[in-house]
Amino acid sequence: MALLGRLVVAAMPLAPKFIVRMVASRYVAGSNLEDAVSTMNNLSSEGACFTVDVLGEEIRSLEEAEFFLNEYSMLIDSISKNNIDAHISIKPTAFGLLIDPETAFQNILNITRKASENDIFVRLDMEDSRVTDSTIELMLKIRSEGIDNIGVVLQGRLLRTTSDILEICGILGPKADFRICKGIYLEPGEIAHTGYKEIVEATNQAIESMMASGAYTAIASHDYPVINHSLSLLEKYDLFPDSENISFPGKGPGYEFQFLLGVRGDLRRKLAKEGHLTRIYVPYGSQWYEYGIRRLNENPEVATHVLKAILLPWTNRR
């Protein structure tokens, strides 16, 4: 399956765009806000909640950031108007982080304030290692403004992640709020684990560090070894689906499980049936093609999920 996945990666840029769209439609809600709202309304009957991402990153000029400011503003309005249980997820480089960090801060601060007024949580996606420090610093700077509805993503594969957890928790205490994932960006061995087993073990260690520190822990993984380990940690740290929720409105009792749209839907539904809060990551936008090709190139492992969905659809319901 892994070899076939690599062949998918090699062939996808050569395929007609309509074929790529057909594949991407499982993992991307659509090209506009209305598509995202429709997708969430259809899936809300399953008891899931959502985090929404407007596709696009690493803009070339600050003028391009205006699009994301306007789009996320409309997204917040739409979530509130339609009474959807959803948060938003943003990539700092889409707001100018690599061009002008201060402008990016003001842009994201404005969006976070508006989201706070609507009881919507904001997650700062973690991009490649060029912006790890600046993304964490941006989150902490917004928190220092007295705004608590923001958290950051950390990647299990990076060697620095455990120390980042301890440092952030040392500053924010129980108000620290993380999404932890293995990480899609392939980084060199000098700064990251590169083998699957090492990455899984490091991700599990990061999850335990978060729970042990009392931080909110959003577990974003489709890997059974990560999910099973997380379930055992819930018992160890007395975190239960029906325990008192002391976190942000619309969030779980100290933890939640997150899944990409279109991946391991059956597992997500099983966890939800057991009472765990599950959240679906819903990307949308006109850059769906660039998003799909870039993600496949950055991490060919994603192609395995794509291939499984095509060849064995009954094992991987959306």
pLDDT at res. 311: 56
Q: How does pLDDT run across 211-250, given as a tens digit for each residue?
A: 999 999 999 999 999 999 999 999 999 998 877 656 667 7
Catalytic residue among 123, 143, 157, 179: 179
Global pTM reads: 0.87
Q: Which CATH class is domain 33-284?
A: alpha beta
* Mean pLDDT for all residues in the chain: 88
Over residues 60-86, the mean pLDDT reads 96
Q: β-pairing, 177-181 with 150-155?
A: parallel
What 199-202 contacts at long range (C-beta under 8 Å, 24+ apart), as own/partner pairs, is 199/156, 199/157, 200/156, 200/225, 200/226, 202/156, 202/157, 202/159, 202/161, 202/162
DSSP label of 15? S
**In the structure, what pLDDT confidence band is assigned to residue 186 with cuts at 50, 70 and 90?**
confident
Reply yes or no on whether 179 is catalytic.
yes
At 144, is the secondary structure helix, strand, or coil?
coil
Over residues 148-161, the mean pLDDT reads 97
Catalytic residue among 125, 157, 295, 318: 125
Q: How does pLDDT run across 100-138, given as a tens digit for each residue?
A: 999 999 999 999 999 999 999 999 999 999 999 999 999
Over residues 197-217, the mean pLDDT reads 97
**Residue closest to 13 by CA, chosen among 293, 310, 301, 307:** 293
pLDDT at res. 178: 98
Nearest-angstrom CA–CA distance, 129 and 11: 28
Q: β-pairing, 86-90 with 278-284?
A: unpaired
Reply yes or no on whether 125 is catalytic.
yes
Q: What is the DSSP string of 267-279?
A: HHHHHHHTT--EE
Domain spans, the chain: 1-28+288-318, 33-284
**In the structure, what pLDDT confidence band is assigned to residue 54 with cuts at 50, 70 and 90?**
very high
Q: How does pLDDT run across 157-167, given as a tens digit for each residue?
A: 999 999 999 99
Nearest-angstrom CA–CA distance, 152 and 31: 26
